[in-house]
Amino acid sequence: MKTGSFSAMWAVIRKELRDISRDRRTLAIALLLGPLLYPLLMLGMGALAENRARTQLDTELRVPVRGAEHAPNLIKFLATQNIVAIPAPSDLDAAIQQQDFDVGLIIAADYAKQWKEGQPALVEIVQDSTRRDAEIPSRRVRAALEGYSRQVGVLRLFARGIAANVAQPVNVGNRDVATPEAKRGLVLSALLPYLLIMTSFIGGAYLIIDATAGERERQSLEPLLATPAPRGAIVSGKIAAACILGLISLLLTLFAFKLSAQMSSGIGQMLNVSFAAIGKMLLILLPMSFIGTALLTYLSAAAKSLKEAQSHITWLMLMPLIPTFVLMVNPLKTQLWQFTVPFLSQNQLLLKVIRGEAISSQIWAVYLATAFALAGLLWFAAVRRYHNEKLAIAG
């Protein structure tokens, strides 16, 4: 870039940053909304989940049981597991569906007969599998019943002089190769990538919309375009100023996550991110900041008013959700082509950082090349749109 173009770009950067600094409320929203809101959201959700799990696991569970008189020993065993049987309503299925109870039991009328004959006795668990708040109570009841079944099976074998391990020809073990970082990433992988991608993608939206559609509506863009400064330098200055604002907000968000994790306990410790991981995240999200800002510059330049330009934010905020939904419905094995797809590549790379996995130089090269190439293409499109003389005319 020529010296004159660089000087013009630097002048535009200073102008845009100075203009937004005068609007302190907008600047505070742009810089502090993410750093304050996102950690509170993550920590609040974690605290609620932890409190719910602790409450449902430790407290007494009252379960409506139909046919409890047929299995008194089973009822007593459940009581030792802090599961208390209560009389079931006439329509147990409807009571479960209406969320009067989380889970229920139906003991077959011929339970005692099957028990005496050494046959499997039927006990039905009544639950609504679509209710997430009933997952823990249902698992507690199922685990208690399975434990009772194993215990009785062992006693029956001993009564017949048979070693209990005869009924277990294969001893199945479990070896989990997941690293501690990957296990912590299970909680983070749901929301953190989306929040970070969205922050970097539209972090400079306030500035770039006002610097393009806002100036066009106020008719202050025409004097700027009338200067001898190249259009490319003007566009680059506006994009660079918005990127600076967005990256500051992103950096504050990452440090807020780290600080909030260190100040919390329990599940909040899972949010602890090292400085090396923060550096990798910044490198991953840097191209996304340029992509989002250049795209908004292109869209805002075509808008006839500030409100029209702001309407694009609605669908732009949904774009980072696409890979989250895709991976939720159809989990994908990591492949090289994924690091060329916008939003999906950032999501996969952030997951690798969260899980503490190494990122190869080939992946870095493919990702950075394709991401900056897309940013450059959008920058060129925005520059071409700024060459349209109708851009300076409002309405």
Question: Burial, 5: exposed, middle or buried (Cβ in 10 Å; 0-12, 13-18, 19+)?
Answer: middle
- Is residue 280 within 8 A of residue 353, CB to CB? The reply is yes
pLDDT at 394 over 70: no
Q: Give dist(CA 5, CA 9) in Å, integer.
A: 6
The answer to whether residue 270 scores a pLDDT higher than 70 is no
Say what percent of the chain tops pLDDT 90: 16
| 195 burial level (CB within 10 Å; 0-12, 13-18, 19+) | buried
Give me the pLDDT at residue 248, please: 87
Q: Which residue has the tokens 């940053």?
A: 17
**Each residue's pLDDT tens digit, 332-390:** 777 888 899 888 899 889 888 877 788 999 999 999 999 999 999 999 998 888 877 66
Among 305, 341, 324, 316, CA closest to 204 = 316
pLDDT tens track for 42-71: 666 666 666 666 665 667 888 999 999 998
**CA–CA dist 354, 298 (Å, integer):** 33
- Whether 2 shows a pLDDT value over 60: the answer reads no
Beta carbons within 8 Å of 227's beta carbon, 6+ residues apart:
8
- Report pLDDT for 230: 83
Contacts of 255 (CB under 8 A, 6+ apart): 35, 278
Residue 33, CB-side half-sphere exposure with 13 Å CA sphere? 17
| Residue 180 vs residue 346, higher pLDDT | 346
Name residue 111's amino acid.
Answer: Y
Beta bridge partners of 107: 123
Task: Tell me what the mean pLDDT of segment 269-295 comes to.
Answer: 83
**Domains of the chain (ranges plus CATH)?**
6-46+181-392 (no CATH), 60-167 (3.40.1710.10)
DSSP state of 117: T
pLDDT at 168 over 60: yes
pLDDT tens column, 66-115: 999 998 999 999 999 889 999 999 899 999 988 888 899 999 989 888 88
Q: pLDDT category, 321, cuts 50, 70, 90?
A: confident
